[in-house]
Amino acid sequence: MRIALDTNVLAYAEGVNDAQRRTAALAIVERLRPEETFVPVQVLGELFQVLVRKALRKPQNAYKSILDWQDTFALVETSPSILFAAAELSARHNVGIWDAIALSAASAAGCRMLLSEDLQSGFTWSGVTVVNPFAEPKHELLAELLGEV
């Protein structure tokens, strides 16, 4: 099953916020199949900002982190069609544009799931279901992906 990751999952895996979130994020990320996991390019831009501004990392270290994620999972570029689909999603469903771009990129990559705690868990658009990976109980799609069903 193809999935996409949102900024908060990567930020938590990088240790932003508390150790419990880091442990939870790493437990999920380490079980994902790299060939079926995608990261929208704009997510890496957001991650860079979070690492520099919130985690107070030096830009060089934040840069290394986003390169490491690029080496781990395939990227989905923000094409004009992704941007315009995201703008329509934002206008029709009152979704923030950056979240809409992540969801639109996930759809363009053929993903069934976007792991994010920023959007309404269970919201489905263009074949992609948003799943909060930190919610309990686990969403059935995530449980299936992780082999917990």
Give the tokens for residue 13.
Answer: 């895996």
Three-class SS of residue 133?
coil
pLDDT at 120: 87
pLDDT at 94: 92
Give the tokens for residue 67.
Answer: 């390169």
pLDDT at 15: 96
Give the global pTM: 0.94
Which H or E run contains 131?
strand 128-131
Q: What percent of the chain has pLDDT over 70?
A: 100
Residue 47 has pLDDT above 90, yes or no: yes
CATH of segment(s) 3-145 = 3.40.50.1010
Query: Are the C-beta atoms of 127 and 3 separated by less than 8 Å?
Result: no
DSSP string, 41-62: HHHHHHHHHHHHHTS---HHHH
Give the tokens for residue 12.
Answer: 């938590």
φ, ψ of residue 16 in degrees (nearest 5): -75, 135
Residue extents of the structural domains in the chain: 3-145
Give the tokens for residue 75.
Answer: 């990227």
| pLDDT tens, residue by residue, 19-32 | 999 999 999 999 99
Give the tokens for residue 87.
Answer: 């703008």
Per-residue pLDDT band for 65 (boundaries 50, 70, 90) equals: very high
Longest Cα–Cα distance in the chain: 41
Three-class SS of residue 34?
helix
Burial class (CB in 10 A: 0-12, 13-18, 19+), 65: buried
